Structure formats: structure tokens, C-alpha cells
Amino acid sequence: MEVHASAPGKAILCGEHAVVYGLPAIAIPLSGIRARAIGKASADTLTIFAEDLGQAPLRIVGDEYDRANPLSLMAGLTAKLVGAASMSGEIRIRSELPIASGLGSGAAVSAALGRAVAQLYGAEIPDEDLNRIVFEVEKLHHGTPSGIDNTVVVYEKPVYFRRDAALEVITIRSGLRIVLADTGVASLTRDAVADVRALARKAPKRTGRIFDEIGTIVAEARDCIERGSLDRLGALMTANHELLQALTVSSPELDSLVDAAMKAGALGAKLSGGGRGGNIIALCAEDSLCDVKDSLLAAGSKQVLVNGAGHGSRDDDSD
Ligand code: PMV
């Protein structure tokens, strides 16, 4: 018997970085771009194959998982949760998500793997428990994660996220036409987060003001999403990008893609995620979608994806 599990990528619409300091942020699942885990039973050891992540096969014997390895930790914590004394089986990870580019690859791989490990033992993990474990693994990837990535990826719903607060799912009034454009520059979120922390120590008042301004943008953006005010939402996203520039987490490549999207008629554009590299996200009206896409490719984007957030469906564990 084979088991199949998956989890989506994600994009942050607004609020990244400030969210680490307790301000709100909004993220949406990218249901069309997923990490998948396919498992089957086998004796003695659990072997995880993850070529898409550039990793050699990983073997876990008994309950001896490696807390410093994200795949091993995820499998180990899941086995513990479902009461499996020792691990066995074969799991193959496949991921359509680029690594280190702000699309939630780490959280999606963890969530898909956790679901597959649980299924191998005939169990189903409630999202609440899965979210808690994926968050533990996120600490290996990001150092001090806010928890937004695991939350949006596990629940696969648009979220208004605040650290240590109850989950708030938001309703997208009119579908959001989102274009994601990859700079092709891989960057580690943990480095960008550490640099923002250093900035907050060096210039606490100024940085605190930027965080507060981002918080105000996020609150209004939520209102716009729920009321369908897309022009205003776009303007807020672009203003958020400027504040992220002030936090030093943009880059020439990100700025040039944001400019290209705006010149081609996007309603708004900003970097999405940790920054320094990775993706920008542009909000578009239907009639500018093609122009924005072309302009981003002409400006050097390595990959352009179009996502209809709010119209996506959950591609679930039965595939
Ligand atoms: O995983 P990324 O690169 O999308 O970044 C997550 C957003 C940050 O706010 C930069 C970090 C965090 O933990 O919230």
C-alpha cells in the first residue's frame, strides 16, 4: 500500500519581518505549487529520498532520529506523536517549490512528510498537532520563526497571523490575481532575520516605527482583502515594500522586479518572505496579468508563476 500526502507553498502578502516582533502579517497558500511525500511500508529502517532538495537518502534506524536534520526531526517527532516505537518504511519527497526563495519550501516539505509518516502508521495528524511539530522544524531552518509559514502551509487557508494569537482565517472577497517572480537568488531567511534584529538593536526607535507602520498597513490590507478593494491593497503592498527596503532586506534584483511589475501595470508589488533574494509578489488586475508576466521575464526573472488565490482548492492526501 502506498500513502500520498502533500502541502502547498505560501506567499506573504504583507507584514514579513515585523511579524517576528509581534505585529500581524497576512499570508496565502499557493495550492498549485506543492511538496509531496509518497510512502510505502518496508521493514527495519525508515529511508527518506529527497533528490529534489538536493539531499542524499536519509536512513533512520529504530527511534534514532537526528534532531539537527529537518527531515529526520520531522519524521521522528511525527512517529513520537502517533506512538510509533520505531520507524520503518520508504518515503520519497517531491517538491515543486524552489528552496530558499520565500515560498515556504521548508514548511511544505515538513508538512507533507509528517502527514505521510503518520499515514504509514495508519494515523492521521490533526492540523493543530502537525502545525506545532512543523514549527519545531522551522526553528532549524529559520532560527527564530514567527510561525507564519507553518500555519499557512498546514491549514492551507489565507491567514491573518499574529505570533502567539489564535488562528484567524480571512475571506478573500474578490479573487486575488497574484504573479510571483523569482530573482533566482537563493537567500537564507535566518540571515535576513538576524540582520533586522541587529538593526533593531542599533536603531530601536526608528526600527520600531517601521514595524508599527507595517502593522498599520497589514490591518488595512486585511480590510481591503475582505471588502475586495484591490486598488488600495496594491498601494499598501508597494508601501510595504518601501518599508522592507528601509529594513535593508530588499536587493537590487528584487527592486528591479518590483519596478518592472509596476511599470507594466500591476496594482502593487513587493518582495515576499525573508528578502535579499527569492520572490516578489505582484497583485494584478485581469487585463494587466500578461503584460506584468512578460515584463518580469524581460527584467530577468528566472521563473514567473501566476496564482489565483481565493480560487484554489485543497489538493489533498488522497491523490
Ligand atoms: O520563509 P520566508 O522567507 O518566507 O520568511 C518568513 C517571514 C519572516 O517574517 C521573514 C520570518 C518569520 O519567521 O516570520
Residues 95, 212: one domain? no
Cell (9 digits) for 103: 515560498
Apex CA 206: angle with CA 200 and CA 159, to 5°?
70
Q: Report the nearest atom of ligand 1 relative to the CA of 142.
A: 13
Q: The domain spanning residue 95 has which CATH number?
A: 3.30.230.10
At 308 the pLDDT is 55
**Which among 168, 200, 226 is the end of a domain?**
168
- What are the DSSP E strand ranges found in 267-312? 268-272, 279-284, 303-309
Asked if residue 319 is part of any domain, the answer here is: no
Q: Report the nearest atom of ligand 1 relative to the CA of 147.
A: 13
Which domain does 207 fall in, by range? Answer: 173-307
- pTM over 0.85? The answer is yes
Q: Rounded distance, CA 56 to CA 30, Å?
A: 27
Ligand 1 center–CA 149 separation, angstroms: 7
Residues 181, 164: one domain? no
Question: Is residue 57 classed exposed, middle or buried when 0-12, 13-18 and 19+ CB atoms within 10 A define those classes?
Answer: exposed
- What are the DSSP E strand ranges found in 134-204? 159-161, 168-169, 176-182
Ligand 1 center–CA 274 separation, angstroms: 5
Asked if residue 317 is part of any domain, the answer here is: no
Asked if residue 318 is part of any domain, the answer here is: no
**Which among 102, 133, 168 is the end of a domain?**
168
At 141 the pLDDT is 83
Q: Of residues 44, 52, 129, 149, which has the active-site annotation? A: 149
Residues 179, 150: one domain? no
Residues 184, 158: one domain? no
Pocket residue to mutate for ligand 1, from 142, 188, 195, most atoms within 8 A of Cβ: 142
At 221 the pLDDT is 98
At 312 the pLDDT is 33
Residues 14, 158: one domain? yes
**Which among 112, 143, 168 is the end of a domain?**
168
Q: Rounded distance, CA 151 to CA 37, Å?
A: 19
- Closest residue by Cα to residue 216 from 199, 193, 240: 240
Instruction: Collect all residues with Cβ–Cβ distance below 8 Å to 104 and sequence separation of at least 6.
Output: 8, 9, 10, 11, 30, 97, 149, 152, 153
Q: Rounded distance, CA 29 to CA 313, Å?
A: 10
Average pLDDT per 10 consecutive residues for the chain, totaling 319 residues: 95 98 97 95 90 90 90 95 87 92 93 96 94 96 91 98 95 92 93 96 98 98 96 98 98 98 98 96 95 97 79 33
Asked if residue 313 is part of any domain, the answer here is: no
At 311 the pLDDT is 35
Residues 177, 161: one domain? no
15: alpha, beta or left? (left if phi > 0; alpha if psi -120 to 50):
left
At 313 the pLDDT is 33
Pocket residue to mutate for ligand 1, from 103, 139, 148, 211, most atoms within 8 A of Cβ: 148
**89-95 and 45-50: which strand pairing?**
parallel
Q: How many domains does the chain have?
A: 2
Asked if residue 74 is part of any domain, the answer here is: yes
Q: The domain spanning residue 243 has which CATH number?
A: 3.30.70.890
Q: What residues flank ligand 1, with Cβ below 6 Å? A: 12, 16-17, 19-20, 102, 142, 145-146, 148-149, 189, 193, 273-274
For ligand 1, atom 14, the nearest C-alpha belongs to 146
Is 127 a residue of the active site?
no
